[in-house]
Structure 1
Amino acid sequence: MINVIHVLWSAQYGGIQRMVLDLCIEQYKNSEVNSSILFISSKGNYFQEFDNAKIKYTTAGFKGGRSFSFKKLKKIRNQFKKYQIVHFHDFNPIIFLIALTTRKKIIYTEHGNFGFNRRLTFFEKLNHLVKRYALKYFTKAIVCNSSFTKSVLIKRYNIKKEPFVIENGAGSNFFSDPQEAQNYKLQIGDRFVIGTSSRIVEVKRIDRLITAFAIFQKEHKNAVLLLVGDGKLLSEFRKKVVKLSLEDHAIFTGFKRNVHDYQKMMDVCVFPSQNEAFGLVAIETLAIGKPTIVFNDGGGLPEIIKQVNQYDVVDSEKGLVKRLEYYYSLNKKEDLKKETIRKEVAKMYSTQNMEKKYLNVYERLLENVRD
């Protein structure tokens, strides 16, 4: 039995939390692995999902990245001592140092939070400096979620050891509440739905989607933009929609636990992110057969979509408009064959495959210990 504890900063909904949840669900099915989670902060709107899946976890109760108490640090250290492997998914220098004192094997998964498209604070820059030394000298294995993430990590942190690449897997245990989404479905009616589902933050580049939709909608009055998610730029994009006179053609739902119900409403899914580390959400929409469009500067996203259709990777807002025109005019019967291809590609990124690859990394580490 391999004992692993995953370390996350919080249970605030995001791709990392979703990935760790799916990984733990698969690890619970595997008699060879005993896993648990330590949340450093007790904040988050995603705890219910971990509770529903009966995932074991504890919280350290930290309030911020630079707040700590010796009592809480001692509690964390005692937790780490119960396991053979400490698997970090977020980096915090103090928590990492505590793990080092236990002499346990440390794995770090780089999920690609590199801070693109924004100015880093002094403490973030300091954190990156410490992280460079931690990864180079004190981490037994590094895993990246895409080839894009791997290339950035090696360059930014001057990593000499070869990181593993293990793509995130998309699970099938989606929370669903069709009744909750019914009001939005009635509001949309039979209009052509262009949608996205993500956090509304800089890296997601929702501005590119809104700009392209404004052009597309001029010629297609029955089109509607469905934006599912929340984030600090939500207010800014609401104003942008009003400025472009699109308020009757754009729907902001805010955060939704049952995001899958909204993805099903979309005729075309667009993820306009720039330098996205992986893009699990694209796997989710491909799995239900939806046409999925991304940008060529989307980091790990093009790696996925090129396996389906290279023309669904665009280089500009104009290119996105052209691709939306294509799907608008496409006969649904003509799209059935492509729908099958999308679903087949999505199957390659299963949570089962992800879990097997992580197990292989764990076993390699522990074999080295026994040697």
Structure 2
Amino acid sequence: MKILHCINSPHIGGIERLVIELAIEQKKQGIDVSVMLDSLEGQYYEYLLSQNIPILESEVKGGFDMSLRTYKNLKTAFKVFQIIHLHNFSPIRSMAAKASKVKIVYTIHGLSKGIRNESKIKTVIREAIKTYYLNRVDILVANSEYTLGLAIAGYGLKHINKLVVLNGIKLPKDTLTGNNSSQDFNIGLVSRFTPRKRIDRLIEAFKLFLDKGGKGRLILVGDGSTFQVINELITKLEIGDFIDVLGYQSKVEDYYKTFNVCVFPSEHEPFGLVAVEAYLHGKPVLAFNDSGGLKEVVAPLEPENIVDTENELAERLIWCLQNKDKIQQNSEKRIQYAQNNFSIERMERDYYNVYKNIL
């Protein structure tokens, strides 16, 4: 089985690391796997290079590159493989893949509609081309039911094979759980600070938690575009004495060990990788009903931790405070859930079956 994964670059990002780890696991299982990059610049390039996985350069220059030379080179390169596995959209790459007559798997990791900052004309053209080619792949894979539903609504996809393959991650060799042995009640967040993460909802819920008599600290780990806005909200609500805003930290596992519970207040997440990471540390996860793929990770294990409003989140935090020992007792159950359902090994086998079924 000869597979080629196509991604933009080896930069830090959820998609890039996921695909690289998938390719590494596929190689371990004896699959002849290569990775094609538009750019070699990125933090994961040396890591990928060290795995002795062949790396091809696509020569694609941006989202609207329509070079005839690049198209012909891509078409020739693709013909060497049995399956082209696309992980993001490029018109010229999709055109060449289709023309090569090689089987095409396209994984949608999330939808970019309404997120990119580009002209309306470019958006209309790109989405029209994307709709055309997504409806002509051999199989379309989404990383959650939520993402698949958005893809169907946005692109039709009535006449192609489609399914969900949940993301997997490289599991640590040792169990990550750590007991918070102090008397403090620590509520933790590890996240990028962006509008979709809705950290404002957590801040407002924490204020309600304190108003209801809750005792504890909120620990925020991360940085991003809304970092200053969140700090201003904390100041406005006059709760800074109860919150640690730590910014970006490289060793987040040290902080997970100190948390009693984790709250991820995002909305419309394609997948809930942060929940998997928290579960690997044995920590309960609280999330909102509109969190998309994140809810699909949390609800099967802890449906009681899905809330609709900031007030419900505050009430749930009060319950967790009052039942610290009880939630700690379920740590091993959470770890087993994450290991059994979200490993890179499980993901590799799921994709192997996808490949096998279309060859």
Range of TM-score over shorter length:
0.7 to 0.9
**C-alpha contact 1:202 1:233 (8 A) present in aligned 2:** yes
CA pair 206-331 structure 1, distance change in 2 beyond 3 A: closer
Query: Which of the residues 36, 49, 60 maps onto 1:38?
Result: 36
Aligned-partner SS, 2:38? strand
CA pair 324-153 structure 1, distance change in 2 beyond 3 A: same
Query: What residue number does 2:274 align with?
Result: 281
Query: Which of the residues 84, 87, 92 maps onto 1:86?
Result: 84
The Cα shift of 1:99 comes to 2.1
Q: Partners in 1 of 2:230 and 2:332 — Cα distance?
A: 34
Deviations 1:54-94 (CA, angstroms, capped at 9, x unpaired): 55434446564345766655554454333221111111112
Q: Partners in 2 of 1:127 and 1:194 — Cα distance?
A: 42
Alignment of 1:110-189 (within 5 A): 110-115=108-113, 121-122=119-120, 123-136=122-135, 138-160=136-158, 161-173=160-172
Aligned residues: 347
Q: Partners in 2 of 1:125 and 1:269 — Cα distance?
A: 39
Query: What residue number does 2:333 align with?
Result: 341
Alignment of 1:310-329 (within 5 A): 310-329=303-322
**C-alpha contact 2:82 2:102 (8 A) present in aligned 1:** yes
CA pair 78-265 structure 1, distance change in 2 beyond 3 A: farther
Query: What residue number does 1:212 align with?
Result: 205
Query: What residue number does 1:224 align with?
Result: 218
Q: Partners in 1 of 2:20 and 2:173 — Cα distance?
A: 11
Asked if 1:22 is matched to 2:16, the reply is: no
Query: Which of the residues 253, 265, 271 maps onto 2:247?
Result: 253
Q: Which amino acid aligns with 2:16?
A: Q
Q: Which amino acid aligns with 1:200?
A: F
**C-alpha contact 1:14 1:199 (8 A) present in aligned 2:** no
Q: Which amino acid aligns with 1:226?
A: L
CA pair 47-231 structure 1, distance change in 2 beyond 3 A: farther
CA pair 233-37 structure 1, distance change in 2 beyond 3 A: farther
Asked if 1:198 is matched to 2:196, the reply is: no
CA pair 190-47 structure 1, distance change in 2 beyond 3 A: farther
Deviations 1:260-318 (CA, angstroms, capped at 9, x unpaired): 34333322111212111121221121122111111111112222211112111011111
Query: What residue number does 1:183 align with?
Result: none
Aligned-partner SS, 1:112? coil
Q: Which moved more, 1:322-331 or 1:287-296?
A: 322-331
Q: Partners in 2 of 1:24 and 1:81 — Cα distance?
A: 19
Aligned-partner SS, 1:143? strand
Q: Partners in 1 of 2:59 and 2:229 — Cα distance?
A: 32
Alignment of 1:352-363 (within 5 A): 352-363=345-356
**C-alpha contact 2:104 2:138 (8 A) present in aligned 1:** yes
Query: What residue number does 1:181 align with?
Result: none
Query: Which of the residues 274, 283, 295 maps onto 1:290?
Result: 283
List runs of 5+ in structure 1 lacking aligned partners.
176-188, 367-371
Query: What residue number does 2:259 align with?
Result: 266
The Cα shift of 1:38 comes to 1.7
Q: Give TM-score scaled by structure 2 length.
A: 0.85
CA pair 235-62 structure 1, distance change in 2 beyond 3 A: farther
The Cα shift of 1:221 comes to 5.9
CA pair 47-201 structure 1, distance change in 2 beyond 3 A: farther
**C-alpha contact 1:191 1:224 (8 A) present in aligned 2:** no
Asked if 1:299 is matched to 2:298, the reply is: no
**C-alpha contact 1:241 1:250 (8 A) present in aligned 2:** no
CA pair 239-38 structure 1, distance change in 2 beyond 3 A: farther
Q: Partners in 2 of 1:126 and 1:43 — Cα distance?
A: 28
CA RMSD of aligned residues (A): 2.9
Query: What residue number does 1:186 align with?
Result: none
Query: What residue number does 1:239 align with?
Result: 232
CA pair 266-100 structure 1, distance change in 2 beyond 3 A: same
**C-alpha contact 1:193 1:226 (8 A) present in aligned 2:** no
Query: What residue number does 2:177 align with?
Result: none
